[in-house]
Structure 1
Amino acid sequence: MMSNLFSVFDPTSSLLTNWLSIMLVFIMLPWTFWVMPTRTQVMWYSTTMKLNKEFSLLLGPNKSGSPLLLVSLFSFILFNNLLGMFPYLFTATSHLAVTLALALPLWLSFLLRSWIQESKHALAHLVPLGTPPILMPFMVIIELVSNFIRPITLSVRLAANMIAGHLLLTLLGNQAVDSTILPIIIVLSSQILLLMLEFSVAMIQAYVFTTLTTLYAGE
């Protein structure tokens, strides 16, 4: 029994998968190497190929990152987002421990590469073109702050969006307890619509996280 509304996001409150659910993606994906491809696998393959082309365009000619790494990141986040939509399964991407572990190493690697290999370009990027001389010190501070908070905004955005939908579903479910037929029908209809919205949010947030990471690498 949940002690509070946020107990569903506590990995110690449920028994089966918990943090081990993150590893399920590594168990299921290798099936494509020895199982006959299905329509779902063909559709997923075409989707990843389109994402690979899009990420390659966003990275630019310098290829500051690997499109294959970004497609793998998208697949990992999407799988865990959708996994959390099933009952009694743990949503790993609703925790900052997971989202920050994804965003921080990538951001740090991009930052170190830019400052070590392209230090002049990195310094010039702190002052936008056409900035008045009197505003240059303030722009440097603003750009530094915006660069350093990027992994935090990436991780908080993903975790907050996954938490918000689950909380709404939980709140609506609690309203149907000991109710008559009409309120139960209204709550169930609302939950079905919200569940459809949550599936779209799970896909959109995986795409947004990966796209913003690609844009940061392209800079």
Structure 2
Amino acid sequence: MMSNLFSIFDPSTNLLNLSLNWMSTLIGLMFIPYSFWFIPNRQFIMWKFISIKLHKEFKMLLGNKFNGSTFIFISLFFFVFFNNFLGLFPYIFTSTSHLNISLSLSLTMWLSFMIYGWINNTQHMFIHMIPQGTPTILMPFMVLIETISNIIRPGTLAVRLTANMIAGHLLLTLLSNTGNQMSFYLLIILIFMQILLLILESAVAIIQAYVISILSTLYSSEVN
């Protein structure tokens, strides 16, 4: 019996009162040994296909500014994707539904971009605060607006990922809790709706991983 609706996101466990559920974040590491097989399997072929597609897209956004930096964003995509997708399985803790993980990722990336940009391209960072063609009287307001929008970027990235993961899981939980009071025919409809929602959540898991990686790529391309 849940004490409240958000108990499904509780990271605590009953084993010596340790938060061992956070270990589910590392489940994606179990897929790494597949890449060392002599005969590639379907999982490795799909992983390589997605990696190449993401590399080409990130390379187009970044240009030749940061050689090899696309692998950072590809790794970010797969990390978020594995945690989003594995969280759909029963009894697996969804770490990306907490700001501890999502904010740590986005804040670390954003801070690294800002530190690099302000140290190596200070003039460019100042110029970026005022769009071209801005009237002189509006320049102070534009600097203030651009500064605020830049500061809240890691928060928006983290909240977007967390809110989407929480919303889908809460909806699935709310619908499943009503199954005890339903008749047989309504229960069949409920199961069908749950399957559709699970398919939607699988798509959301992929989309949110892509969104956070592509936005991080765009933010990094602005510092140079």
TM-score by structure 2 length? 0.93
Cα distance in 1 for partners of 2:56, 2:99 equals: 30
Q: Find the counterpart in structure 2 of residue 174 from structure 1.
A: 177
Residues 88, 156 of structure 1: CA spacing in aligned structure 2 closer, same or farther, 3 A cutoff? same
Using the TM superposition, give the Cα deviation of residue 60 of structure 1 relative to its aligned residue in structure 2, in angstroms: 2.3
Q: Find the counterpart in structure 2 of residue 5 from structure 1.
A: 5
Aligned residues: 219
- Give the CA RMSD over aligned residues: 1.6
CA contact (8 A) 2:179 2:187 kept: yes
Cα distance in 1 for partners of 2:212, 2:14 equals: 27
CA contact (8 A) 1:77 1:93 kept: yes
Runs of 4+ in 1 over 6 A off after TM superposition: none
Deviates more, 1:185-194 or 1:208-217: 185-194
Residues 65, 59 of structure 1: CA spacing in aligned structure 2 closer, same or farther, 3 A cutoff? farther
Matched residue type, 1:188: I
CA contact (8 A) 2:13 2:20 kept: no
Q: Find the counterpart in structure 2 of residue 150 from structure 1.
A: 153
Deviates more, 1:55-64 or 1:196-205: 55-64
Deviates more, 1:115-124 or 1:34-43: 34-43
Partner residue of 1:63 out of 63, 66, 75: 66
Deviates more, 1:7-16 or 1:91-100: 7-16
Secondary structure, aligned partner of 1:61: coil
Identity of aligned residues (%): 54
Q: Find the counterpart in structure 2 of residue 108 from structure 1.
A: 111
Residues 13, 188 of structure 1: CA spacing in aligned structure 2 closer, same or farther, 3 A cutoff? farther
**1:125-159 superposed Cα distances (whole Å, 9 cap, x missing partner):** 00000000000000000000000000000000000
Cα distance in 2 for partners of 1:17, 1:193 equals: 31
Partner residue of 1:164 out of 163, 167, 170: 167
Using the TM superposition, give the Cα deviation of residue 47 of structure 1 relative to its aligned residue in structure 2, in angstroms: 1.0
Residues 65, 119 of structure 1: CA spacing in aligned structure 2 closer, same or farther, 3 A cutoff? farther
Residues 53, 32 of structure 1: CA spacing in aligned structure 2 closer, same or farther, 3 A cutoff? same
Using the TM superposition, give the Cα deviation of residue 34 of structure 1 relative to its aligned residue in structure 2, in angstroms: 3.8
